[in-house]
Amino acid sequence: MAMRGKEEKMNRKKIIFATKNKGKIKEIKVILGDVFEVISMEEAGIDTEIIEDGVTFEENALKKATEIMKISNEIVLADDSGLEIDFLNKKPGVYSARYMGENTPYSIKNNKILEIMKDVPIEQRTARFVCVIAAALPKPFNKNFTVRETIEGIIGYEIQGKNGFGYDPIFYLPDRKCTTAQLSMEEKNKISHRGKALFLMKNELKRILR
């Protein structure tokens, strides 16, 4: 069994994950690393800036994956994610990182959302994190596809928790009675949009590449 594990590790297929975010790469290596050799753009020696100008998560993720696949001729994955708030017509959505300006601290962005929604009743506070992961496979596969996962919650009435990043301190999970910023990284990965999308992608790739 140990020998088989070693062999599997040696035969792992190389995958480039098109992100410059070191935290994400670490998380992705934990989830995909037993089956695939995941390398970052930096590790692959690629330093291309890709403009995320799509209006859907799918468009942005596919653009990043296909452009890097064309440059590298390797299997490439790329993700795009964001927060959809139903009361705000699913905004900030694909513009989550750019909402109120890319360099505006999340303490300010989160407080702004709480302020806008201060009188909104609980049943109208529904929201979700969405994660789309795109795969671009070179020849002989010649195939692009996406997977999408979400985690449903509500926008809380106050900032709570210090873990995670971005909008986590205002994203409240009613069944757990806490925000995603109050979960450990391991707990969040099991139920999050990104964790679930990575598992889905892992299974799809195992099926296609076997």
* Active site members: 80
Could you give the CA distance from residue 9 to residue 3 in angstroms, rounded to a whole number?
Answer: 10
Under the binding rule (CB under 6 A), the answer on residue 169 touching ligand IMP is no
Whether 179 contacts 163, CB under 8 Å: no
Q: How many residues does the chain have?
A: 210
x-or-dash pattern for ligand IMP, window 75-114, by CB under 6 A? ----xxxxx------------xx-----------------
- The nearer residue to ligand IMP, 97 or 159, going by C-beta atoms, is 97
The residue with tokens 């890097």 is 68
Distance in Å, CB of 5 to ligand IMP, minimum: 31
Under the binding rule (CB under 6 A), the answer on residue 179 touching ligand IMP is no
Side chain identity at 9, as an amino acid letter? K
x-or-dash pattern for ligand IMP, window 124-163, by CB under 6 A? -----x----------------------------------
CA torsion sign for 138, 201, 188, 29 is negative
Query: Rounded to 10 degrees, what is the CA torsion of 143, 56, 16, 36?
Result: -70
Residue from 165, 176, 203, 208 binding ligand IMP (CB under 6 A): 165
Can you name the residues that pair with 94 across neighbouring β-strands? Answer: none
Can you name the residues that pair with 91 across neighbouring β-strands? Answer: 85
The footprint of ligand IMP (CB under 6 A) covers 79-83, 96-97, 129, 164-168, 192
